[in-house]
Amino acid sequence: MSYLDNILFAVILIIGAGYFASNVKKLIRNIKLGQDVNRKDNSSERWKNMAMIALGQSKMIKRPVAGILHIIVYVGFVVINIEVLEIIIDGLFGTHRVFSFLGIAYDVLIGSFEVLAFLVLVAVIVFWIRRNIIKLKRFMNPEMEGFPKKDGNIILYFEVVLMSLFLIMNAADLHLQFVDGGFGHYHQAGSFPISQFIAPMFNGMSNNLVFLIERGAWWLHISGILVFLNYLYFSKHLHILLAFPNTYFADLNAKGKLDNLESVTNEVKMMMDPTADPFAAPANPDAVPAKFGASDVQDLNWVQLLNAYTCTECGRCTSSCPASQTGKKLSPRKIMMDTRDRLEEVGKNIDANKGTFIEDGRSLLNDFITPEELWACTSCNACVEECPVNISPLSIIMDMRRYLVMEQSAAPMELNGMMTNIENNGAPWQYNQMDRLNWKSED
């Protein structure tokens, strides 16, 4: 590799890494638009969750076929990309397989990379068949039309191309390593259990042509990795990076335990304080009164916004949702996708207005998520239980319900009737308190 190639590679690497860093900065800013919530408690349990769920994929294998295939792709993605470090060093300094000094250990590594690359190819093809030929029901929901459907396939095509380029690059490299008299700086290094079956296709070709194929596959492979890295921000596959913090900061409370709104708690405390003056002027007249619940993404907490970006769009939540299964409009996956879409819309508004959000007349409630969807939820926690990365669509649903009830008095008629009965009769049913124990009387 000439010095010009080294410089060109360095430029491409800097541009790719720089664009990725700018998107990460934007991502962090958008997540920080959420309300503060303390998730620093019980660090040992949080580290355990991250190790078991994000790293160990423990919730994925609840559905064995998809789980095992995903683990193959996941391990392949992580392990094979260890070689990216070698590619970067070779690209910057013009060396050839710089880690080959590891000897047998290097042979084992390259051999493992190749076997994993082949297994990833097989897994990705199966995933493509499940999506496009078998057409599993959970991939066919209305929210999966358009870009979400394309996105799933784009990633699969990316994986096929990257793994194929990796094996072709190794096969051409292997061929050049055994050229009589040597060829350039290609010295014998590595073990190639898969690409050794591809290398014979180069027999009879000129060495210069094989060299061009190897260099072409090398450049396309590393460029493809940089493109893939920067595509993640726009894709559901952002969970590759965010699954780790998401599982760490997940709610550790028992499922079914709802948090109390601080704003409501403060109101109740004031009402129970005999010395408090409910008509007293607020300590800070300019302070914006706390909103009950959430109508837009800025009202949600930052962990809920992290959840939205982490959503894998796998549909396990929706396929397990009893409301969805009985034909209701609710899809927990759509709740997360809508939250992310609105958050991206808000982020673009901030970018367009030099760091300040300008009211756009839109909100998460009504423009993205309808009250009908929210009230269809049975709050059973099936979606939370099924999510492979500990996302909680229910928490967003409950916060938006709170807004409807406490800010807009927009609860369904049946719920309003129940709450009125509780207020007047001390029970959900419409009868006099004096008759509450009549059920004990004999006929």
pLDDT at 286 over 70: no
Rounded to an integer, the average pLDDT of 23-38 is 95
pLDDT in tens, 312-329: 999 999 999 999 999 999
- Could you give the CA distance from residue 97 to residue 330 in angstroms, rounded to a whole number? 53
Q: Domain boundaries in the chain?
A: 3-31+63-248, 262-431
Query: For residue 35, what are the β-bridge partners?
Result: 301
What is the DSSP secondary-structure string of 25-48? Answer: HHHHHHHTTSBP----S-HHHHHH
Checking phi first, is residue 301 left (phi over 0); if not, alpha (psi -120 to 50) or beta? beta
| Of the candidates 166, 174, 165, 163, the residue with the CA atom closest to the CA atom of residue 107 | 174
- Does residue 204 or residue 125 have the better pLDDT? 125
Contacts of 84 (CB under 8 A, 6+ apart): 222, 225
pLDDT in tens, 161-188: 999 999 999 999 999 988 877 787 788 8
Q: Please, are residues 249 and 39 in contact by the beta-carbon 8 Å criterion?
A: yes
Rounded to an integer, the average pLDDT of 138-158 is 92
pLDDT at 296: 96
| Of the candidates 316, 181, 167, 310, the residue with the CA atom closest to the CA atom of residue 249 | 310
pLDDT at 378 over 90: yes
Contacts of 351 (CB under 8 A, 6+ apart): 26
Q: Please, are residues 346 and 352 in contact by the beta-carbon 8 Å criterion?
A: no
**Predicted confidence band at 365 (pLDDT cuts at 50, 70, 90)?**
very high
pLDDT at 118: 94
Fold of 262-431: Fumarate Reductase Iron-sulfur Protein; Chain B, domain 2 (1.10.1060)
CA atoms within 13 A on the CB side of 332: 33
CA atoms within 13 A on the CB side of 227: 13
Angle at 333 between CA 332 and CA 337, to 5 degrees: 120
Helix axes 302-310, 393-406, angle to 10 degrees: 130
Q: Please, are residues 249 and 390 in contact by the beta-carbon 8 Å criterion?
A: no
Q: What's the pTM?
A: 0.88
Q: Please, are residues 389 and 239 in contact by the beta-carbon 8 Å criterion?
A: yes
